[in-house]
Amino acid sequence: MQLAALRHRSESEDCFVLDRNRVRVRFHTAKDDVEKIIVHYVDNYMPTTDTESVEMEKIGSGEVSDHWVATLEVPYHRIKYTFEVIGKDGDHKIVGDRGIYDFSKENLEADGSYFRVPYFHLIDMDKTPEWVKHTVWYQIFPERFANGDKSNDPANTKPWNPEDHPGREDFYGGDLQGVLDHLDYLKKLGVNGLYFCPVFKASSNHKYDTVDYLEIDPAFGDKDLFAKVVNEAHKRGMKVMLDAVFNHIGKNSMQWQDVVESGSKSRYADWFHINSYPVEPYRNPSKGEGEPPYETFAFEPAMPKLNTANPEVQDYLLEIATYWVKYFDIDAWRLDVANEVDHHFWKRFHKALVALKPDFYIVGEIWHSARPWLNGDEFSGVMNYPFTLQVEDHFFGHKMSAKALVEHLNDQLMLYRDATNQAMLNTLDSHDTARILTVANDNQDLALQAMAFIFTQTGSPCIYYGDEMDMKGGNDPDCRKPMDWSKEDGPVWQRVHSLIKFRLDHSEVLGKGTTLLSVTENGLIKVVRKQKETIIAYFNTTNSDVEIDLAPSLSQDYQDGKLAKDGFAIVVK
C-alpha cells in the first residue's frame, strides 16, 4: 500500500459539518491501491473503546487518487474519528491525526491519534444559498441583447446586425428597456436567473471600466428603469445578479482623474497603487517601456488598480455593494477579477451582504483553484472555469480522453465542500470566450451535447445570451454580436428550452444530489446523480454509434437502441 498517498485534512473540504449532528468526511488513497476504509468515531469526551464504525464509499477515481466518503452522525455536536485502511496487498494501517500506524487494538484505541471536530458550530458552516441550486442562469451583455429605446443610443450607434463582427469600440444600442421588453421571452425560455454584465456608468461598451458605480449608464437607462427590470424579473420568479469590478476602476472616474491632475497631493492618491509620479504617460513593461507608474488590471492603463486594503476604499466599495441590495433588491454579485483583491476585503464584503440578505449569492471570477476564497466567509462559489474548460477540452478540443476527463472532474469535485460545489457557476461560454457553437466547429449537436453534460453536473448552469439562437462568434469581441432575434422558437431554441425545463424539473437531485462519474466499457461517459430519485445520463463522445438499451426521458441522437456520436440519453428512475 502506498502510504505517501493516504491523506485527509480535518475541518476542510475533507471534513465539513452538514448540520447539528452530521459531518461528512473524505479520504484519498492511491488509485486501485486500497480495498476498504473504515471510519471509527465517537464523541470527543467518550472513550475510544466506545467507537462506532462505518465503511467508506469509493465515489470516484482521479488522475492518481481514489476518493472515499462517509457521513458520520453523533448526538452531542462534536466528534473524534480515525481511519482503518486495508490495502489490496493486505497491508493494514491506522491513519490518524498524528500519523500512520500498523493496525492493532492498541493503536486503534490511542486517543491522541484521533482527528477532531471540537464542536459543530453552524455559524462556521459553509452555507450556500438554497435557491441557487434550483437556478438556471442566463448571461446578458446589455449592449448587445436588445435595443428597446433608441433615444438613448450613443453617437455613431451601428445598425442592429447579428451577422456583424463587432469592433472593440462599437456600439449597437442595447439597453435595459430591451431587457424589460423581453422578460416574457426569458420566462418562456425557462431560465430563472439573470446575470448582467456591468450596467454602471462607464466609457466603454462593456462597462468594465467603471466611472460611477452608483449610476446606471445613460446609454442603458436610469435607476427607475433598472428598478422596474428587477421588480418585473422577481414577479416572474427570476433572480438578478449584477457584475461589479472592485479590483480596478475606470480612468475617467472622478477619483483617478484627481490623481492625474494633483499627483501625490490628491486626496485619492492612497486609493491606488502608485509607483511614481506623474502617473501619465503610462509605461507598459510588456512592451519594453520600463516600469509602470501605477498598478493596473493586466497592463491596461485605462483600468488603474484600487488599493482595497485602504479602509476608505473598502468603505466606498461596501457602500456600493450594499446600495444596490438595499434600494434595488438585487440577489447576487458576480465579482470581476476577484482573485486580485485581498481576502480581508472580501471577508468584510461577505459579512455586509449576508447581513442584508442571508441567502445572498456571491460569485468570484477566478480561473484557477479557488479554495482560499471558498471557506464560507468570502464567496458562495466561483465561475467554475477549471471544471468547464476541461469539459471543453474533451468535447470540443479532443485534448483528453473520456477517462481522463472523468478523472480530472472527480479530482475537481474533491477540492471543495459539497455546498460549495452546488453553488458553482458553470458556463461553457461568456463575454470573455468564443461561443460554444464556434468552438464546436459549427456542430450544433456537439455544442448541445456539451451543454447537456453541464446541465447534469453539480453546480448552477449558465447560458450565454444567443446560444439558444444558434449564434456563432470567436473570441472577444466577436462573441459579443447583437442578439439574433429571428430564431426564437426555432429547432435549437426548442432543444435548449427542453434542457432548461429538465434541469429545473429535477433540480432537487441535479442541484444537490450525489455525483458519480465514470466511463462504460463501450466508451460512454456515464453520470449518475442520486437523491430522492436517480438520474443516469450517457454521453457518446466516441466516433461511432454505441448500442445501449434505454427508455430516456430526454435524449439527442438516440434511436432504436443506438446512441449516435454527439448524442446523449438521460434516464430518470
Distances (CA, A) of 564 to 451, 544, 550, 561: 17, 7, 13, 10
Distance, in Å, from the CA atom of 156 to the CA atom of 371, rounded to the nearest integer, reads 45
Residues 292, 275: Cα–Cα separation, whole Å: 7
Q: Is 365 a catalytic residue?
A: yes
- Options 14, 33, 336, 432, the catalytic residue: 336
Exposed (0-12), middle (13-18) or buried (19+): which is 362, by Cβ within 10 Å?
A: buried
259 and 279 Cβ atoms separated by less than 8 Å: yes
Cβ-contact 201, 210 below 8 angstroms = yes
Query: Which of 36, 41, 40, 16 lies closest to 26 in space, CA to CA?
Result: 16
Helix axes 444-455, 385-395, angle to 10 degrees: 140
Compute the C-alpha angle 125/130/131, nearest 5°. Answer: 150
- Pairing type for strands 239-245 and 193-196 reads parallel
Q: Which residues contact 398 (CB under 8 A, 6 or more apart)?
A: none
Q: Label residue 485 left, alpha or beta by phi (over 0 means left) and psi (-120 to 50 means alpha).
A: alpha
Report the C-alpha gap between 504 and 507 in whole angstroms.
5
Does the bond joining 358 to the residue before it have cis omega, within 30 degrees of 0?
Answer: no
Beta bridge partners of 12: 15
Does this model's pTM top 0.75? My answer is: yes
Specify whether 336 is catalytic. Answer: yes
Radius of gyration of the chain (CA): 26
- The residue from 365, 411, 418, 566 that is catalytic is 365
Full pLDDT tens readout for the chain, 573 residues: 999 999 999 999 999 999 999 999 999 999 999 999 999 999 999 999 999 999 999 999 999 999 999 999 999 999 999 999 999 999 999 999 999 999 999 999 999 999 999 999 999 999 999 999 999 999 999 999 999 999 999 999 999 999 999 999 999 999 999 999 999 999 999 999 999 999 999 999 999 999 999 999 999 999 999 999 999 999 999 999 999 999 999 999 999 999 999 999 999 999 999 999 999 999 999 999 999 999 999 999 999 999 999 999 999 999 999 999 999 999 999 999 999 999 999 999 999 999 999 999 999 999 999 999 999 999 999 999 999 999 999 999 999 999 999 999 999 999 999 999 999 999 999 999 999 999 999 999 999 999 999 999 999 999 999 999 999 999 999 999 999 999 999 999 999 999 999 999 999 999 999 999 999 999 999 999 999 999 999 999 999 999 999 999 999 999 999 999 999 999 999
* Nearest one of 18, 134, 20 to 419, comparing CA atoms: 18
For the chain, give the number of residues.
Answer: 573
| Domains in the chain: ranges and CATH | 3-117 (2.60.40.10), 130-247+308-512 (3.20.20.80), 248-307 (3.90.400.10), 515-572 (2.60.40)
